[in-house]
Structure 1
Amino acid sequence: MRRLSTRSLLLAGLLATASVTALAAPRTVTDPQAPRALEAAGPVSVKWNDPKTFTELRNSTNRFEAERGNWVYQLAEYARRSAEKTLQPGQTLDITFVDIKRAGDFEPWHGPRASDIRIMRDIYPPRITLQYALKGADGQVLDQGEAALRDSGFLHGSTGMQSSSDPLRYEKKLIDDWVRRDLAKRIAAN
């Protein structure tokens, strides 16, 4: 049996650590390998424009923190689940996120220790612009349009059933409000 040298063991350890670190690296919404749509499943399809064009990233004072994570994908999954509950049998819905500005913003002038903290103030409301197409069982478009979602009183209202620790709770509430108030009326009218 051949003995491995200390040097070989050290090299193997470094390679293993590097591969684990690469897998654990935080994903960004601007990653070219990140999907731009949910996989087809069920009656609701959701896709989104390039997050680099979203107000959240274009106007951020901390672009690194703004693009970190998988929040666009999480909002798309949430929109799918929320809208599926409202559709009539046979109906389908196509949603495209055109623009997203998350609630709060970064205020780097508080110093380097606070530059990565999202500050919630009334002047930073959540905003989502989406396009949708509601189709009947025969594939005909029943309704389509663009919705500009915004909640200026997001800090003063209830976030409903969302967890107060969910970083996307205000954006999810925008989606819930749109599904309940606007989409449900359009579905009922058809």
Structure 2
Amino acid sequence: MKLLKTITSYIPAVAIAFVLSLFIGIFVFQPYKVVGQSMEPTLQDDQRVYTSKLARTFSHMPAYGDIVVVDSRVNRERSFWDNIVEQPLIQLIRGASNDRTFYIKRVIGKPGDVIEIKNQQVYRNGEALVEPYIKEKMNPSQDSKWVIPDNHIFVLGDNRNNSEDSRVLGPIPFDHIMGIEEIK
């Protein structure tokens, strides 16, 4: 009987810790794991990154060059429920799936920007970008152009020849930015 009483006395503390953990993961910061080589040489496969969610919480647009985690399911609306069920603690309880929903990419364009890729070079608003962080020059491809709409960003991987990014997904809605990992 004493053991049961001791166990039940811990329930409020465990419940508070659980709720606090969810709050921190939804609004403050969250860890993610790099899957694949799309951000090489900046980030390596299986590397852990910790993203700040404060910019998202306070609706602050990331800066050019920031590394962001985005929800790649751009053709669906995100809900607050998504933020809850995607928390590591909830994934642990539910039995985490191995889906590749979240991509880690670099911000290249913001609302109103015109992004062009021509002759293996990225241009923002007509100016060629200086990108010392990329792994190698892009393979030759068809020239492309995007005008970034309001509340969207344009992202690319640092390993341009091995990255599924805005060239495939299109501009990313602001509410699909999960967090920002600022590497300076």
Give the TM-score taking structure 2 as reference length: 0.30
Select the structure of larger CA radius of gyration.
1
Give the TM-score taking structure 1 as reference length: 0.29
Higher relative contact order (CA 8 A, sep 6+): 2
> Whose helix fraction is larger, Structure 1's or Structure 2's?
1
> Whose strand fraction is larger, Structure 1's or Structure 2's?
2
